Structure 1
Amino acid sequence: MLHLSILVFPFISLLIPCYNESSRCHLLIEGITQFQREWKGPFEVVVVNDGSSDNTLKILQDWKVRCGPSRQIQMITQQNTGKGGAIQRGIPYCKGDFILTLDADMSTSPEELNRWWVLYAGFKQDEILIGSRELKESIIREFPLRKWIGNWFNRIIRWITGLQFKDTQCGFKLYPNKLAQEIFTQLKTMGWAHDVEVLCRAKKMQMKVKEMPLHWQAVEGSKVVVWKDSFRMFKEVLQIQHMMKKENNSNSPK
């Protein structure tokens, strides 16, 4: 096995979309603090406040002031567009060799990156790594109903899009910077189903994508309303499939 000491830890951009997270900002702050202790390379934090109407922005701005200039933290504020739109907005601000997108509730801690680094003996500039809660090696604590709905949603996605991933919706994804820029400049889906479009575009551009095991824990206060948002995401997936098919037809030789 390749020893860690001969690997150069890359510069990582942690990209975190936030919407009304005031009750859970402490989880974000604790997660970043722990990551700073564990990660041996340079990193920055890019937070996109997606039009929060609570105290999310103030809490995170105060945290940035407490951290001082020693920690690279960028705060970006925009009107609410949705999770996909928030990530798309943050991508151009990321300067790291790799961009890690993750949820503000730290359902998967950024420390997971260290486990991936060891497991995979480094990261590749031509491959996207996506967390999968459905791999048998993953350690998951989930609410039973949401797990059941999530399983069926992923089956439907595979059936509609032809994507073969077991879990498209986990927010913990690691992109080489160049590939992220290529994908997200073309992103049209601003809501929760943006992950499906991201993976469809990666497939269209013949990018390598690998599912990775992870530790994931459901956190109280999720913004997803299971039945309502599942139906909305299903509609978005149909729209994505129609859009990608239309693009493929327009690009095919006449």
Structure 2
Amino acid sequence: MRTDTPQTEPSLESLPARSPLALATPTTTAPPDRPVLDIVVPVHNEEGTLEPSLRRLHGYLSEHLPYGFRITVADNASTDRTPRIAAALAAELSGIVSVRLEQKGRGRSLHTVWRRSDAPVRAYLDVDLSTDLNALLPLVAPLISGHSDIAIGTRLAGGSRVVRGPKRELISRAYNLILRGSLSARFSDAQCGFKAIRGEVADRLLPLVEDTGWFFDTELLVLAERAGLRIHEVPVDWVDDPDSRVDLVRTALDDLRGVWRVGRALATGALPLSRLSRPFGDDPRDRLLGGVPNGLARQLLGFCVVGALSTLAYLALYSLLRLGLGPQYANAAALLLTALANTAANRRHTFRIRGRGRMVRHQAQGLLVFAIGLALTSGSLGALEAADAHPSHSTELAVLVVANLAATLLRFLLFRTWVFAGEEGRTPAAKDRPGGAGGPSAQDERQAGQGDDAGADSTERTTS
């Protein structure tokens, strides 16, 4: 039957604290109307593999999973007998449904089915069942308990047992090294076809994911990690499918294009990741404790990185300006230029404030902080000149480095307690957005509608 399930846009507020799922009475016979787990199996021309794999998966879940389940076969424009086999199995076995999409793309099928699912935990696995199903309970358990937001199988962690050729092994490890180097990814295996996600996280995260192909997994994980969501990794036993029809060269090129697109979006702050943030701690009592600095370690690390780059830029500018100006004028000009860039960089990257709201105020306050730093460095230069009328250039730089260290510590304290106090992660107000007051920006509208676009041109038919 044709599905016309209405979609509602998720709230723009950040996610609530994690909590264990309120589950119905466990069943091992037939899933309830609203299952706990919805497993999507994307397929394209899999008439030889589909039936034995589905029977094996259904039998395993019926015997070992203590919760209600649903298996959703997402057919991606198959031209062989795959749709008929899926419909026949759905009619025979309770808990199996089939969905037909008229366009190809693994990401498109996951995007479409996950967003329309009513299950509190949504997963997917490859139709060849390369991953040992004994890893399924460890995969979904941290999501059900409220410990994690996303769970992934990994073939590259200690404890995994993998059987595959050296070519695929090399490509997989090289790809993950690229992700670590370019997008600072910390998860170990982006492309293993064995993942699960909590429903409320999927509803909020999927509208931000653009890819409809093989890069879908990577984009989803990178955005989740950058938003501070917790990703749980499960070492798996995995046997390569010798009949795999994935075009490795084309997939690699598409992945590299995706890495560039996502990296650029993250660098420009185009993604509203604050919608995905979780409160500090999962225990409500954590948020009632007074005097506990939130995110101090992360802020300090970000500030140090920005400060180190600013100091290098300052010393370079000072050395350049010193060729034509006296030490005091060169110091003031170099410090002013780097102070403006330093405030803007700390505003965006250290304290994660987006939008133009209060930007001028923050820069004005930053200039006052700059004046304090100028007083410290100028006073240090004055003291040096009083002690030595003609100090060497290296001595001047050494004195300025020490003075700047003191000014940097004071700058961090003032930024945290005064300039950006209580504003970390603030998203632009409606009046600050390009769309004007009372409406979302064009960028937000495009991202919010991304999930709808992924399946808008597809005709879906569900058999249950």
Distance change (3 Å), C-alpha of 1:59 and 1:205 = same
In the alignment, residue 75 of structure 2 is paired with which amino acid? N
> Which deviates the most, 127-136 or 232-241?
232-241
Give the deviation of 1:93 after TM superposition. Answer: 3.1
> Which of 79, 85, 88 is the matching residue for 1:62?
88
Choose the corresponding residue for 2:178, options 156, 168, 174: 156
Q: Which amino acid aligns with 1:50?
A: N
CA drift at 1:244 = 3.3
Judge which range, 213-222 or 129-138, deviates more: 213-222
In 2, are the aligned partners of 1:101 and 1:174 still within 8 Å (CA)? yes
**Of 20, 36, 43, the match for 1:18:** 43
CA distance in 2, matches of 1:98, 1:117: 7
Residue in 1 aligned with 2:276?
Answer: none
Q: Higher helix fraction: Structure 1 or Structure 2?
A: 2
Cα offset, 1:215, TM superposition: 1.7
CA distance in 2 between counterparts of 1:153 and 1:35 reads 32
**Correspondence for 1:83:** 106
User: Post-superposition shift, 1:122?
Assistant: 6.0
Aligned CA distance change for structure 1 residues 240 and 14 (closer, same or farther; 3 Å): same
The match for 1:35 is 61
Letter of the structure 1 residue corresponding to residue 175 of structure 2:
F
1:226 positional shift: 2.1
Looking at structure 2, the residues matched to 226 and 162 of structure 1 have their Cα atoms a distance apart, in angstroms, of 23
Offset from partner CA, 1:34-88 (integer Å, 9 cap, x none): 2221112111112211111121111111111122xxx222211112241111100
CA–CA distance in structure 1, aligned partners of residues 131 and 216 of structure 2: 19
Per-residue CA distance 1:146-172 (angstroms, 9 max, x = gap): 011110011011111111111111121
Please tell me the residue identity of whatever aligns with 1:224: V
Q: Distance in 2 between matches of 1:156 and 1:126?
A: 25
CA contact (8 A) 1:35 1:111 kept: no
Q: Quick one: distance in 1 between partners of 2:212 and 2:139?
A: 28
In structure 2, relative to structure 1, the CA distance for the partners of 1:204 and 1:115 (3 Å cut) is: closer
After superposition, the Cα gap between the structure-2 partners of 1:110 and 1:98, relative to the gap in structure 1 and judged at 3 Å, is farther
Aligned to 1:253: 355
Amino acid at match of 2:43: C
Distance 1:221 1:66 in 2: 28
Question: Per chain length, whose mean CA-contact separation is higher, i.e. which structure has more relative contact order (CA < 8 Å, sep 6+)?
Answer: 1
Separation of aligned partners in 2, 1:110 and 1:94? 22
Residue of structure 1 aligned with 2:234, choices 204, 212, 236: 212
The structure 1 segments of at least 4 consecutive aligned residues displaced by more than 6 Å after TM superposition are: none
| Partners of 1:235 and 1:122 in 2: CA distance | 34
Unaligned runs of 5+ in 1: 1-7
Structure 1 position 206, deviation (Å): 2.2
Deviates more, 1:185-194 or 1:109-118: 109-118
Distance 2:205 2:138 in 1: 26
Deviation at 1:174, TM superposition (A): 1.5
Q: Report what 1:5 is aligned to.
A: none
Count, aligned residues: 243
With 108-117 and 180-189 compared, the bigger mean Cα shift is at: 108-117
- What is the alpha-carbon distance in structure 2 between the residues aligned to residue 111 and residue 184 of structure 1? 27
AA in 1 matched with 2:125: L
Distance 2:250 2:164 in 1: 19
Q: Indicate whether 1:222 and 2:247 are aligned.
A: no
Alignment-derived partner of residue 167 in structure 1: 189
Correspondence for 1:188 among 196, 210, 221: 210
Q: Distance in 1 between matches of 2:185 and 2:53?
A: 32
Q: Is the 8 A contact 1:138 1:215 kept in 2?
A: yes
User: Over the residues paired in the alignment, what is the CA RMSD in angstroms?
Assistant: 2.4
Q: For residues 83 and 139 of structure 2, what CA distance do their matches in structure 1 show?
A: 31
Partner of 1:179: 201
CA contact (8 A) 1:46 1:73 kept: yes
Q: CA deviation at 1:240?
A: 2.3
Residues of 1 paired with 2:99 and 2:84: CA distance? 12
Determine the structure 1 residue equivalent to 2:149. Answer: 127
**Contact in 1 for aligned 2:143/2:150 (Cα 8 Å):** no
Shift of 1:117: 6.3
Normalised to the residue count of structure 1, the TM-score between the two structures is: 0.86
Of 70, 73, 92, which aligns to 1:44?
A: 70
Q: Which has the higher mean CA deviation after the structures are superposed, 8-17 or 162-171?
A: 8-17
Q: Provide the identity percentage.
A: 21
**Does the 8 A contact of 1:103 with 1:172 survive in 2?**
yes
In structure 2, list runs of 5 or more residues that go unmatched. Answer: 1-24, 27-34, 272-347, 357-464
CA contact (8 A) 1:35 1:110 kept: no
Amino acid at match of 2:185: L
